[in-house]
Amino acid sequence: MAYLLEATNIFKSFGGLEVLKGVNLSLEEGKIYALIGPNGAGKTTLLNILNGLEKPDSGKIFFHGKEITSLSPENRAKMGIARTFQLLEIFTELSLLENVMVALFAKKPWGMLKSLFLGEFGNPREGEIKSQALTYLEEVGLGSKAKELAKNLPAGEQKLLEIARALALEPRLLLLDEPAAGLNHRETRFLGEVLKRLNEKHGLTILLIEHDMELVMNISFRITVLNFGEVLAEGPPAEIQRDPEVIKAYLGEEL
């Protein structure tokens, strides 16, 4: 089986603390995966290692069969690995459209700074960028709010805006760190629908860290459970939900 992403035998320590102890992860293209586990299990560290923000002490990462272990986050982004963070990374004083346009300018050869210095009419492709940005907003259900300021959006829609900005990179793999944190039930359901649609319509591969079990169980193809830096279990939602080890370590008695 050729995987879109493969991480093999990943080890990582901070000081004397072993945070990842030989983790393996394989993602097929076009599927949604979840990474779950108790606080401090190493989930964010693993995501950081996959997108290049952290380097593993040992172990290798392959994207499309090519080793990317020593590539920078920028080079991984160019190859198609996009990432959102636990804390929002949006420009609150800009409109939704401008937020996505900045992401689009940033990846174009002329660069964002040049565009800003040249002003609104300095870039011959301004109109094209605008309409592309609008398409990404529509993909996450925010097309009708393009002109609003990001700071005026409710939490759920700010999360969706962050995803629209990540889509501007035209990723093949989208890494999401707790996208449902701070969202209410209705917002979380909508987020799930958006992620499913992106996956089904564009074949986008998604790996999300998430504590909201309803979302995880509803949208995931397979789930990896991390516990104390090791993979405790890996499998489809129905299997994970009834795994006695997982229930003991993480899910508790309610499932």
Binding interface with ligand ATP (CB under 6 A): 14, 19, 37, 39-45
Cβ neighbourhood burial of 14 (10 Å; 0-12, 13-18, 19+):
exposed
Report the residue number, 112 or 181, with the smaller CB distance to ligand ATP: 181
**Based on CB atoms, which residue is closest to ligand ATP, 14 or 110?**
14
Minimum CB distance to ligand ATP, residue 207 (Å)? 13
In the bound complex, what is the minimum distance in angstroms from residue 37's beta carbon to ligand ATP?
6
Residue 148 beta carbon to ligand ATP: minimum distance, rounded to whole angstroms: 30
H or E stretch covering 129: helix 126-139
Distance of CA 177 to the CA centre of its chain: 6
Instruction: Provide the minimum distance between the beta carbon of 192 and ligand ATP in the complex, in angstroms, as a whole number.
Output: 19
Q: Please, what is the minimum distance in Å from the beta carbon of residue 178 to ligand ATP?
A: 7
Nearer to ligand ATP, 37 or 59 (CB): 37
Nearer Cβ to ligand ATP (40/73): 40
Residue 209's nearest CA partner among 41, 52, 10, 11 is 41
The CA radius of gyration of the chain, in Å to the nearest whole number, is: 19
Least CB distance to ligand ATP at residue 35 (A): 8
Judged by beta carbon, residue 45 or residue 158, the one nearer ligand ATP is 45
CA pair distance 95, 156, nearest whole angstrom: 16
The 8 Å CB, 24+ separation contacts for 22-26 are 22/59, 22/230, 23/59, 23/226, 23/229, 23/230, 23/231, 24/231, 25/50, 25/224, 25/231, 26/1
Q: CB nearer to ligand ATP: give 39 or 131.
A: 39
